[in-house]
A and B are shown apart, each in its own frame.
Chain A
Amino acid sequence: MPTYIDQVFSGHERSLAVNRQRLEVVASNLANAETPAYKARDVDFRSAMRSAEAEGVTLRTTRPGHIAEPGDARPASLHYRTANQPSLDGNTVDSDKEKAAFAEASTRYQASLTFLSQRIRGLRLAITGSR
C-alpha cells in the first residue's frame, strides 16, 4: 500500500494525460488523411511518460499560499511517421495504421481508468470499513 495519498495513483494519472494527447494526435492524423502535404505524427509513449514523470508540469505559484499541483503532462515529444507508401501529394497518413494506433491508445486509456477507479474503490473501502 502506498504511504502517501498522492502516490496512490502510481503514474496512471500521467498515463491518462499522455494517452489523451496521443489520442488527439492520432485523431488529427485520421482527420487529415486526405489533406495534401500533411505529415502524420505520433507521440513517443515511452519518452512522453518519462518526461511527464521527471518534470510533471506544475501550476505557477506566485504567492506563498498557492499549492504547486501536478498538472497535465507536458506536450510530449512528437515524431513524424515514416511512410511506407507516401502518396504523390506529400501526405504520409496511413489510415489503417492510424486506426490501429487509435484503438491502442484508447485501450490504454481505458486500462488506466480501470486501474484508477479500482484504486479509488480500494481506498474508499479502507476509509469506510466494510460498509
Chain B
Amino acid sequence: MSLTKIFDIAGSAMSAQSVRLNATASNLANVNSVSGDPAAVYRSRQPVFSVDSLGSDSPGVAGVRVDDVVKTTAEPKLVHMPDHPDADENGNVYTSNVNVVDEMVNMIAASRSYQNSVEVAKVSKELLLRTLSLGQ
C-alpha cells in the first residue's frame, strides 16, 4: 500500500489509450483502402476496454486493460470504379468502413484521457518525492 500503485493505474490507462490511438491511426491511414472482395477490405478496428484490478486486493484500485481489438461490423462502402484494377465483374470496388468523424472524436478523447493520466502520474511523483524527504 503506497503511492506507487497510482503509477500502475496511470500506466495501465496510458497504455490502453495508446492502443486506442494506434487503432485510430491505423483506421485513418486505411480510410481509402479498397478491395474487390467485400470480405477482404479493411475494417475499422476498435479496442475494448475493461477494468483490471492490477493484482491488488484493495477495492479502490482499478486499472484499465485492453480486452480485445475488434473489427467493426459496419458494411464496407460500394464504389463504382470500372477502371480500378481490383474492380469485380460489375465494375465495383469496396472501400473501408472507417468513419472519419468517429475516428477524429476517438483521437481527441484518447489524447485527453492520456493527458489526464500523465497529470496524475506527475502529481503522484511529486507527492511521493515530498513524502520521501519528510523530516529532512
Q: Which of A28, A72, A117 contacts B61 (CB 8 A)?
A: A28
Q: Let me know if B50 and A34 touch, CB within 8 A.
A: no
Interface residues on chain A, size class: 20 to 34
**CA of A20 to CA of B58 in the docked complex: distance in angstroms?**
13
Q: Let me know if B62 and A31 touch, CB within 8 A.
A: yes
Q: Let me know if A75 and B58 touch, CB within 8 A.
A: yes
Q: Let me know if B127 and A36 touch, CB within 8 A.
A: no
Cβ of A106 within 8 Å of any chain B Cβ, yes or no, is: yes
Q: Let me know if A30 and B60 touch, CB within 8 A.
A: no
Given the known inter-chain contacts A27-B124, A32-B51, A38-B51, please indicate yes or no for A75 contacting B9, CB distance below 8 A.
Answer: no
Cβ of B81 within 8 Å of any chain A Cβ, yes or no, is: no
Q: Let me know if B3 and A33 touch, CB within 8 A.
A: no
Interface of A: prevailing SS: helix
Q: Let me know if A35 and B3 touch, CB within 8 A.
A: no
Identify the closest chain A residue to B14 (Cβ): A31
Given the known inter-chain contacts A30-B13, A109-B127, please indicate yes or no for A24 contacting B117, CB distance below 8 A.
Answer: no
Q: Which of B50, B62, B64, B116 contacts A99 (CB 8 A)?
A: B116
Residues of chain B in range 1-52 having any CB-CB distance to chain A below 8 Å: 1-3, 5-6, 9-10, 12-13, 17, 20, 49-51
Q: Let me know if B5 and A24 touch, CB within 8 A.
A: yes
Q: Let me know if B1 and A72 touch, CB within 8 A.
A: yes
Q: How many residues of B contact A (CB 8 A)?
A: 36
For B96-136 the 0/1 string (1 means CB < 8 A from A) is 00000000000001101100110110011001001100110
Q: Let me know if A25 and B120 touch, CB within 8 A.
A: no
**CA of A31 to CA of B5 in the docked complex: distance in angstroms?**
13
**CA of A110 to CA of B134 in the docked complex: distance in angstroms?**
11
Given the known inter-chain contacts A34-B113, A38-B62, A95-B116, please indicate yes or no for A23 contacting B134, CB distance below 8 A.
Answer: no
Can you name 4 extra interface pairs (CB under 8 A) apart from A27-B120, A31-B64? A16-B131, A36-B49, A102-B123, A106-B123
A-B pairs with beta carbons under 8 Å apart, 25 shown = A20-B1, A21-B60, A23-B6, A23-B124, A27-B6, A27-B10, A27-B120, A28-B9, A30-B13, A31-B117, A32-B51, A32-B62, A33-B116, A34-B20, A34-B110, A35-B64, A43-B60, A75-B59, A78-B60, A95-B112, A99-B119, A102-B123, A116-B135, A120-B134, A120-B135
